[in-house]
Structure 1
């Protein structure tokens, strides 16, 4: 996009091996929610109020496009005015690394979310400010142990400590979720432990891969229409490091994990 530096995450959604499932409603939001939950995108057609898998259709690769924004109570009010409220939840994330930041300097993010260990590994090349950031999200102990070069086990704080991994950040997030077709919107109030909540909106759209640039522009236009600024912002964890651990933050900048835009 000509004049917009767009910092976002594109997530590829794998194709299904078999097309045999029927979805109970012909509703685009329900379809997307079901598809994302199963990490698969299917070709569908409406049949008597149901959504039926059509194995004869050619399936185009689908990706999620998302962008983060700061938000204010006034911008939240604009979202509420047109969107459907889907619910609210609280999640606590504790992130782990070695004392010399071995994982995060490779853009690998190990966390415990509400009692379950997860890890994200990069699919993109570090150090390219224009590259799309893509991650593989792993949610099983077996695969997480493999990434960490540990023998198969049920992960615990004790096992991680023995391997040299220690917590470096705990963030509690209150998330409100909205739907404003075709956009999914998360409004996060993040407790970074210093009494100053960090407010981050994340807007997401699903699209075919060959339409990602057009979809990204539409997403930005939608956000601007709601009063959001398209300026670069830090995600909640990077904001935590920026506030509380400047040495760690600088190491990630030097490693090419964080791109800090130049102000001209």
Structure 2
């Protein structure tokens, strides 16, 4: 069975005001829809995945693994734009997790892999998302409100190759200026905020590992 290639996510998070949707529409953005979903994240007991900036997530039954764009790329940069590779095919996820953990999983499905490796859920929350698209720029904008009282926006462009990343960065930063997002400091995302609030020891370990 054919598998789809991994993609690269180039994204920038931002805080937004109550009039953000009016601004988006004035810039030509189109509302794609609104979605309510639960994300549950998994790691080993000793946190070997997240300490290497690998984020294994189950969203409403669909699995995804986000990992650094390159061995030298991680969440520790102060650059407001981040780059991650995204794996969505279970075989690719299992292979990547096995390689990172130094083992050869026998499992053929993600639920079996979780049991085999003793992975445990360390975060789970519900997000109310309103999604916009900027067709001309090829950008997606998500406005998220999490059930633990945190809201954040994200501008994203998905590319297929590393050669496309510089142009994606330029488009995202230009759009953020139009949106009124001019700061250069990285905005914390939902996961960073969740860990700080509910799993401070995990958060501190990630800080010490320069992941956050």
Structure 1 residues 30-81: Cα deviation after superposition (integer angstroms, max 9, x where no partner): xxxxxxxx659xxxxxxxxxxxxxxxxxxxxx97632111112122221123
The gaps in structure 1 that reach 5 residues or longer are 1-37, 41-61, 259-264
Residue 251 of structure 1 pairs with residue 205 of structure 2:
yes
- Please tell me whether the aligned partners of residues 9 and 84 of structure 2 are also in contact (alpha carbons under 8 angstroms): no
Q: Which has the larger radius of gyration?
A: 1
Structure 1 residues 193-245: Cα deviation after superposition (integer angstroms, max 9, x where no partner): x3x1x222221346886675465344323223322243321121111112211
Residue 239 of structure 1 pairs with residue 187 of structure 2:
no
Give the drift of 1:138.
Answer: 2.1
Specify the alignment match of 1:11 in structure 2. none
| In structure 2, C-alpha distance between the alignment counterparts of 1:257 and 1:165, rounded to whole Å | 20
- Pick from 79, 98, 101: which aligns with 2:47? 101
Give the drift of 1:124.
Answer: 3.2
Specify the alignment match of 1:225 in structure 2. 178
| In structure 1, C-alpha distance between the alignment counterparts of 2:140 and 2:199, rounded to whole Å | 29
Specify the alignment match of 1:111 in structure 2. 57
Q: CA RMSD in A?
A: 3.1
- Please tell me whether the aligned partners of residues 105 and 252 of structure 1 are also in contact (alpha carbons under 8 angstroms): yes
| In structure 1, C-alpha distance between the alignment counterparts of 2:50 and 2:162, rounded to whole Å | 28
SS in 2 for 1:124: coil
Specify the alignment match of 1:172 in structure 2. 126
Cα distance 1:244–1:64, how it changes in 2: closer, same or farther (>3 A)? closer
Specify the alignment match of 1:83 in structure 2. 29
- Please tell me whether the aligned partners of residues 120 and 137 of structure 1 are also in contact (alpha carbons under 8 angstroms): yes
Structure 1 residues 134-170: Cα deviation after superposition (integer angstroms, max 9, x where no partner): 43322233332222342132222x7524522110111
Give the drift of 1:177.
Answer: 1.9
SS in 2 for 1:248: helix
Matches within 5 A, 1:1-264: 65-81=10-26, 82-122=28-68, 123-125=70-72, 129=77, 133-146=82-95, 147-148=97-98, 149=103, 150-156=105-111, 160-180=114-134, 181-192=136-147, 194=148, 196=149, 198-205=150-157, 212-213=165-166, 216-230=169-183, 231-258=185-212
More helix by share: 2
| In structure 2, C-alpha distance between the alignment counterparts of 1:173 and 1:159, rounded to whole Å | 26
- Please tell me whether the aligned partners of residues 86 and 179 of structure 1 are also in contact (alpha carbons under 8 angstroms): yes
**TM-score when scaled to structure 1?**
0.63
| In structure 1, C-alpha distance between the alignment counterparts of 2:34 and 2:145, rounded to whole Å | 13
- Please tell me whether the aligned partners of residues 175 and 186 of structure 1 are also in contact (alpha carbons under 8 angstroms): no
| In structure 2, C-alpha distance between the alignment counterparts of 1:104 and 1:94, rounded to whole Å | 14
Cα distance 1:215–1:136, how it changes in 2: closer, same or farther (>3 A)? closer
